Structure 1
């Protein structure tokens, strides 16, 4: 007589397991940033704002009353995301602006347009990233991940520094991740033109993000511009789209295994809100936060001389102090 009841038992068990996994996933994602903290009157720029964590951060800032500029490469996707956010939040002050971090010319054009439209900038979020891309270079000759994840943001931030200082108190939020601990800055082959390995290139850029944040914080000690590096944790976004497992049948095996411990994008975006709006972080100088808690980065990320070296190379390669029309880059 137990056979007819077996399907019901199985269904009940599966439902209970699924419910438990969903509860665990919600708990693992962590608490949301204080919903009472608003952002009225603040102007925000977010890179990579059309998908994933960036899009959810835009939604959160818009919901809290900020004016948000979505700096994106894909304008079609950006406009779709913007319309959705405006309708859901009721905040019409959300704008799409072209900014391709793989092109120094595009970064300069974004900055020039932004400065012509806006007198101030309260929060800059360097969020955009690519991960384990096939071997290739940007329009300026940078290894793709180095160009997008580090060089583009280095130039963008520095070109906006005068506006950030004039708008102080203001903040720069740099999104990195735990992969920085496996990273090495290859001084002899920073552009990985001699030997390219996708994961090593990605980890190098995440270490570069932290070195940049720490050196930027040091340089802004006398200003009222805070710099915070954040790790949103293991998140369910399309960042892994270039990885082999995402392009094969193994994805249907691996993804369900990791799904319970992957944060949904809105949960992951809370670390950005915390870094951008929490009053207690107003004097940060390149501090590193994981899940909204102060953390210690790797020893390499704390190497002052390495940070100085990377800054000087980044200045040279991006031609930071050159006339705007000078876009050719020397990467050797």
Structure 2
């Protein structure tokens, strides 16, 4: 739109556009992925939930840097569409789709087994996939579906791939959490769907708190291995994560998103930073916000004794399967 076209618009449209421009300028992170010249040639990366939204842009960035990228997706058709888009955009043909349903522990185990059989190395693992707003449902493994998808599935996947990552060190694990973890609670009966209150993002908030707690404990256990583990808040991002919410909530969210929320590409920035930035070499057990800044998570997320207990419970739950 040229200046003359802009001036012909109604006053409210001009003000809306200017407001959107100001907000977009204010939400730009301090670190720009496009200005980072780090190359990933010879490196292998896995991104869960890479068929759309933040995950696809993370995978796209890794592909531009020359990595072998494995798209870990649940939906084959959407995954193939993302693969073709990434290949076309970046020119990188070393992009591969592998199917996994993180809510099903058998699917996670089968995925990890195939990775261990096919891949000689793994340098980056991004636990991006997540859901919010799902109604109460218990999986065949006996887990509440949101906890299985957002936490127990990624927890099991990460632990199954750890030995490969240790052999590939230096390597990095990045888990997407959320600032909403500050509203979360720790009640281990939640894993089985007990004592949960469903409404808006309450269950989601609990899962995101567990993400940080277990990532911190994982980082402690990985000290000296050359593998780091960090958590990130991508920001308030306009993605498909609210697809399970009522229409009126999605409508209001999308209306506000135009002015105030990050795009999926912008939301990928903090994760890419943790995965590739040279200044984070060796940095582990930390939590980064959407501005790629190191910040303190909620007090519960910094409780070392709770972290040990949480990790051990998750180990017991997933090792029995």
Fold shared, TM-score > 0.5 on shorter chain: yes
Contact 1:192 1:201 in 2 (8 A): no
| Alpha carbons of structure 1 residues 222 and 17: separation in structure 2 relative to 1, 3 Å | same
The answer for the alignment partner of 1:256 in structure 2 is 255
In the alignment, does 2:19 pair up with 1:21?
yes
Superposition map of 1:209-248 within 5 A:
209-244=211-246, 247-248=247-248
CA distance in 2, matches of 1:253, 1:216: 38
Bigger mean CA deviation after superposition, 208-217 or 284-293 = 284-293
**Alignment-derived partner of residue 3 in structure 2:** none
Structure 1 spans left out of the alignment, 5+ residues: 1-7, 328-332
TM-score normalised to structure 2 length? 0.92
Cα distance in 2 between the residues matched to 1:152 and 1:218 = 20
Cα deviation 1:288-330 (Å, max 9, x = unaligned): 01121000001000011111111111111111xx5xxxx3xxx
Counterpart-to-counterpart distance in 1, 2:276 and 2:311: 27
When normalised by structure 1's length, the TM-score is 0.89
Structure number with bigger Rg: 1
**How far apart, in 2, do the equivalents of 1:189 and 1:118 lie?**
35
Deviations 1:114-155 (A, max 9, x none): 111110000000000001211112231211110001000110
The Cα of 1:194 is off from its aligned counterpart by 4.0
CA distance in 2, matches of 1:253, 1:211: 32
| Equivalent residue, structure 2, for 1:75 | 76
Residue 19 of structure 1 and its aligned partner are, at CA, apart by: 3.1
- Checking the alignment, whether the CA contact within 8 Å between 2:196 and 2:203 is kept in structure 1 is no
Displacement of 1:222 in angstroms is 1.9
DSSP-derived class of the 2:152 partner? helix
Q: Does 1:268 align with 2:270?
A: no
Matches within 5 A, 1:49-198: 49-198=50-199
C-alpha separation between the residues in 1 aligned to 2:37 and 2:96?
24
Moved more, 128-137 or 16-25: 16-25
Unaligned runs of 5+ residues in structure 2 are: 1-5
Q: Deviations over 1:212-245 (max 9, x none)?
A: 110000001121101111111000101011222x
**What corresponds to 1:4 in structure 2?**
none
Q: Secondary structure at the match of 1:148?
A: helix
Aligned-partner Cα distance in 2 for 1:57–1:188: 33
1:52-77 deviations in Å (ceiling 9; x for gaps): 10011111111111110001111110
The whole-number CA distance in structure 1 between the counterparts of 2:82 and 2:257 is 27
Runs of 4+ in 1 over 6 A off after TM superposition: none
What is the number of residues matched between the two proteins? 311
Q: Measure the CA separation in 2 of the matches of 1:230 and 1:302.
A: 15
